[in-house]
Structure 1
Amino acid sequence: MSITGTLIVQMIVFLILVGFTMKYVWPPIAKALDERAAKIAEGLAAADKAKSELSAANKRVEAELGQARNESAQRLADAERRAQAIVEEAKARATEEGNKIVAAARAEAEQQALKAREALREQVAALAVKGAEQILRKEVNAGVHADLLARLQTEL
């Protein structure tokens, strides 16, 4: 065969191969490439969306953390004020109770002083009677002189 015939046959085979490739092989490859490009574009869009959502979530978290810090500081201040009020109330109650105890002790001391004075009066009256008895060297009748003893007791 001649070189021209071989060249023509090779051109026909090449054209058949190109036609076959264009009709049966190329469309699935192009489709796969298009699908892959679409998936990559979707992935990039999803990554951008996730980035923006992450940024928004970080802003929300920071805002909520700031709010939580403020609330905790306010609660702590409220608790300190309440504790101070409770301490002041307890001090006031303790002072009031102390005053009551002191007043009760004073009243009891006055009662005991009155009892002691009364006992002393009775003892002085008895001593006076004994003294008078010894001076007179005779027995004094307490029933007869009860009025006199009562006056003497009140004078003392």
Structure 2
Amino acid sequence: MSITATLIVQMIVFLILVGFTMKYVWPPIAAALDERARKIADGLAAADKAKADLAAADKRVEAELGKTRNETAALLADAERRAQHIVEEAKGRATEEANKIIAAAKVEADQQTVRARETLREQVAGLAVKGAEQILRKEVNAGVHAELLNRLKAEL
């Protein structure tokens, strides 16, 4: 065979191979490549959507955190106010109790002063009677002179 015939046969075989490849082999490869490109595009779109959702979720989380911080600060301030009110109330009660105790102590002191004066008056009256006894050198009857002693107590 001549080189030209061989070349022509090789060109025919090559064209048959190209035709076979274009008809049977190339469409599934092109479909697979198109499917792969579509999946990649869908994945990229999903990633972009996920990024957007993540950004929106971050914004919602920040908003919730800010809201929670504000609520916590309000609760702390309220608790502080309540504690201050309780402390003030306790101070008021303590002051009231102290005033009551002081008043009771004053009353007790006044009563003890009155008792001490009465005791002192009785002792002074007794001493006056003893002094009068010694001056008169005779015994003075306390029953007879009770009115005199009572006047003396009242004057003292």
User: Which TM-score applies when normalising by structure 1?
Assistant: 0.90
Amino acid paired to 1:51: K
Shift of residue 88, structure 1, vs aligned partner: 1.2
Residue deviations 1:7-60 (CA, integer Å, cap 9, x gap): 331122112212331233223312221221111011111111011101101110
* Matched positions, count: 156
1:6 shift after superposition: 1.6
The unaligned stretches of length 5 or more in structure 1 are: none
AA of the residue aligned to 1:120: L
Residue 91 of structure 1 corresponds to 91
The Cα offsets for residues 52-107 of structure 1, whole Å up to 9 and x where unpaired, read as 10110111012112111211221121122112212211221121111111101101
Q: C-alpha separation between the residues in 1 aligned to 2:113 and 2:66?
A: 69
CA distance in 2, matches of 1:38, 1:106: 99
Q: Which runs of 5+ in 2 are unaligned?
A: none
Q: Percent identity?
A: 81
| Counterpart residue identity of residue 102, structure 1 | I
Mapping for residues 51-130 of structure 1, pairs under 5 Å: 51-130=51-130
CA RMSD of aligned residues (A): 1.7
Q: Which residue of 2 aligns with 1:152?
A: 152
How far apart, in 2, do the equivalents of 1:142 and 1:38 lie? Answer: 133
Whole-angstrom distance in 2 between the partners of 1:75 and 1:98: 34
